[in-house]
Amino acid sequence: MESVCDLQEGMSTERAYEAEPVPSLSETITARSLAVSFVLAVTLTVVAMKISLNSGFLPSLSIPACLLGFYLSRALIRTLDYLEVSHLPFTRQENTVIQTCVVACTNIAFSGGFGTFLLAMGGNSAGVTMKHDNNIEEPGIIRMVGFLFLVSFAGIFIIMPFRKVMVIRHQLTFPSGTATAHLINSFNTPQGATQAKIQVEMLFRSLGGSLVWSVFQWFFSAGRSCGFRVFPTFGMEAYRHGFFFDFSMTNVGVGMICPYMITISMLAGSLASWGILWPYIETKEGDWYPRNIGQGSLSGIKGYKVFVGVSMILADGLFNFLTIMFRTSRTMAKRRSQPPVLASQGNTQPFQCLNAGSNGGAMDMEQQTTTAKSFDERRRAQVFLRDQIPNMVTIGVYVLLAAVSTLVIPLLYRQLKYYHVALVYIAAPLFTFCNAYGYGITDMNLSSTYAKIAMLVFGSWVGIKDGGVVAGLVACGIMMCTLTNGGDVMQDLKTGYLTLTSPRAVLISELVGTTLGCIINPTVFWIFYKVYKTGGATGGDIPDVPYARVYRGMAMLSVGQEGLPKHSMLLAKVFFLLALALCLVREVASRQSWRMRGYIPSTVAMAIAFFVPPDMPIGMCIGSLVLYMWERMDPRGERMLSSAVASGLICGDGLGSLVSSLLTLTKATGPICIKFLSRGDNEKLDAFLATLPAKT
């Protein structure tokens, strides 16, 4: 007859690893894990940078990091076995360290402001309307590297004293971190290894196909507006308004990762803005705004695009901020009245079968489940609490980093004074805690919302004559880097908790990944910045860098910029109220479980579409359509392989962009130009060619 502990064996994750000792710090952070982390950090940073510049947001790259880290480590181990070189066994803790290091590096592509506040300081985002030169600061690689080193580490240290409160006491879920941990745990079991091999093979197939397709397109892009990316899929008139499929595998892959409602919301936003609103405003040229003022000026149609979209994002951010603060306060009040979760204190044998009663009788299923859960929690808590990281040390490091930044940042950006920087760092710990706590409950990182508040406060404080636009953007950058990195560290600590990875190993891998990110990200950005023309429309350029315009517009609002086109603020107020109403309806529908709740569009997704040309939402919708059809035909295969395929498409297109960039740097151009013309333009071209002398 099976014992009670045997009955529980299948219900506990940690039972499968009970015979394996928890590796020490030196066995977790190894030369192998650091080498694999570096290779993946460089590769995925290229992907993350391209996505961030093109779309303004960055989907989670945890799954590609897990898959590729597992595969490359296994491949390295096989090579060492073939060469008969001794090595340590590969563990889930090492897999966690690789994933943490890589994600810490790639996330700086967003938190570092390359697609947001850094580019918003430059002249391309400012247009031609700025009267004060101290409101423009062009990007420079030395200054970017220095700024990132100053602001990227503070959030890591200030959040560490709260790790036990959030992970052990309040047991915050951190859904993304929990999902990543389950993925790592499944990979490193005998059954999970087989599944991971299939996923990685599919990832590399889609990566190879996407890379080949990206390089293939380069051969047909010999001139401007040449290539498949400007194919007028829905006709020339739709193409002139931006409605076409650009054959970007990145957009298709992102569409396969994002929820259906996000892609549909972006398409709806494109139809409302690029299909209706902007064409209507263009008919008012000469009345609402001057003629021939240029697409880059905020005094022209760009002013409507920026401020209408900004108002919607501010409305959604304000609503979510208030909602999450309310939820967080209520959750903390409830949990404060409950007894804290017992860790492993006072128990010398935490892994024994505690509920095997003295009468030897069997327990019911509920008791078995509770015991299995208690076993996992006890083992995880013991490992999590084993490594002591003194709070005074982490707080002291934060104070030191804040002091250095207070002295140096005003030298990098003269518009911000030392007392401005000091106030940001004084307020940052409170906002970092609130953001991380809300992140753990809702899986929504609101660091950009807090950062926008800092932008508005400090921008209005400094004023436009003294460079308030740049000052607000720099304050925004300090707050965003601090809060984003703090929330990401807490999420990685949750992953480490569920994979028996010590907090000290997570902290070290975060520091290594952040250090790499402060060097790799500016380098990759500089390549894109020098090769591509930011603010272009088509033809391989980075289209508009949408969120840089958003941040520039917000900063200019904070200083009261004049010279805006007629009715732009009225439209902004109207869309602000409409966005608030939409957020309220969505929240009520969710609370009341209305049937329509799954069909209410996302406000932010619609707002992004006001800046991004429609070809991106169209590509994302094609990705969602592929996913939907795959799900209908093969639900099991879709659940197991769709993320791998999407990740491969994104990674392959990112690597293809890097190859094209390197070719452009060497002054190489494609040998062929494919260009699509209307029938009338084609007839004119034929008539012109007929006038040329024939070659003998």
The pLDDT of 82-89, averaged and rounded, is 83
pLDDT value at position 338? 65
Per mean pLDDT, which range of 67-71, 124-128, 401-405 is the poorest?
Answer: 124-128
> Residue 3 — very low, low, confident or very high, per pLDDT cuts 50/70/90?
very low
In whole angstroms, give the CA distance from residue 301 to residue 568: 9
CA distances from 674 to 207, 226, 246 (A): 25, 5, 14
pLDDT value at position 333? 75
- Cα 455–Cα 603–Cα 274 angle in degrees, nearest 5: 95
Contact present, 573 and 311 (Cβ < 8 Å): yes
> Residue 356 — very low, low, confident or very high, per pLDDT cuts 50/70/90?
very low
> Residue 16 — very low, low, confident or very high, per pLDDT cuts 50/70/90?
low
Per mean pLDDT, which range of 17-21, 118-122, 228-232, 505-509 is the poorest?
Answer: 17-21
The pLDDT of 121-125, averaged and rounded, is 74
Provide the mean pLDDT of the chain.
78
pLDDT value at position 9? 38
Stronger pLDDT, 592 or 336, i.e. the higher one? 592
Is 363 within the bounds of a domain? Answer: no
Is pLDDT of 132 > 60? no
pLDDT value at position 221? 79
The pLDDT of 21-31, averaged and rounded, is 87
In whole angstroms, give the CA distance from residue 232 to residue 230: 6
Is 302 within the bounds of a domain? Answer: yes
pLDDT value at position 11? 47
Is 365 within the bounds of a domain? Answer: no
Is 1 within the bounds of a domain? Answer: no
> Residue 39 — very low, low, confident or very high, per pLDDT cuts 50/70/90?
very high
Other CB atoms closer than 10 Å to residue 135's CB: what's the count? 27
> Residue 561 — very low, low, confident or very high, per pLDDT cuts 50/70/90?
low
Q: What tokens does 443 get?
A: 């899986």
pLDDT value at position 426? 92
Q: What tokens does 283 get?
A: 């008919």
Is 680 within the bounds of a domain? Answer: no
Q: Residue 604 half-sphere exposure, CB side, CA atoms within 13 Å?
A: 15
Indicate the SS3 state at residue 360: coil
Place of tokens 């333009």: 681
Contact present, 158 and 395 (Cβ < 8 Å): yes
Is pLDDT of 31 > 50? yes
pLDDT value at position 348? 36
The pLDDT of 305-326, averaged and rounded, is 76
pLDDT value at position 577? 92
Is 358 within the bounds of a domain? Answer: no
Per mean pLDDT, which range of 64-78, 151-165, 295-309 is the poorest?
Answer: 295-309
Most confident listed range (40-54, 216-230, 389-403, 655-669): 389-403
Is 371 within the bounds of a domain? Answer: no
In whole angstroms, give the CA distance from residue 56 to residue 548: 8
Spatial CB neighbours of 299, under 8 Å, sequence gap ≥ 6? 127, 129, 289, 290, 293, 563, 564, 565
Q: Per residue in 501-515, pLDDT tens?
A: 999 999 999 999 999
621: containing domain: 11-339+385-665
pLDDT value at position 513? 95
Per mean pLDDT, which range of 273-277, 324-328, 533-537 is the poorest?
Answer: 533-537
Q: Residue 19 class from Cβ within 10 Å (0-12 exposed, 13-18 middle, 19+ buried)? A: exposed
Is pLDDT of 609 > 70? yes
Domain count, the chain: 1
pLDDT value at position 10? 39
pLDDT value at position 686? 76
Contact present, 498 and 376 (Cβ < 8 Å): no
Stronger pLDDT, 138 or 153, i.e. the higher one? 153
Is 5 within the bounds of a domain? Answer: no
> Residue 358 — very low, low, confident or very high, per pLDDT cuts 50/70/90?
very low
Q: Residue 655 class from Cβ within 10 Å (0-12 exposed, 13-18 middle, 19+ buried)? A: buried
> Residue 191 — very low, low, confident or very high, per pLDDT cuts 50/70/90?
low
Q: Per residue in 377-419, pLDDT tens?
A: 888 888 888 878 888 899 999 999 999 999 999 999 998 999 9
CA distances from 47 to 43, 166, 292, 521 (A): 7, 32, 37, 11
> Residue 90 — very low, low, confident or very high, per pLDDT cuts 50/70/90?
confident
Q: What tokens does 507 get?
A: 């902290």
pLDDT value at position 248? 82
pLDDT value at position 503? 92
Is pLDDT of 482 > 80? yes
> Residue 291 — very low, low, confident or very high, per pLDDT cuts 50/70/90?
confident
**This prediction's pTM:** 0.67
Stronger pLDDT, 91 or 437, i.e. the higher one? 91
Q: What tokens does 468 get?
A: 């308030």
Percent of the residues in the chain that have a pLDDT greater than 90, as a whole number? 18
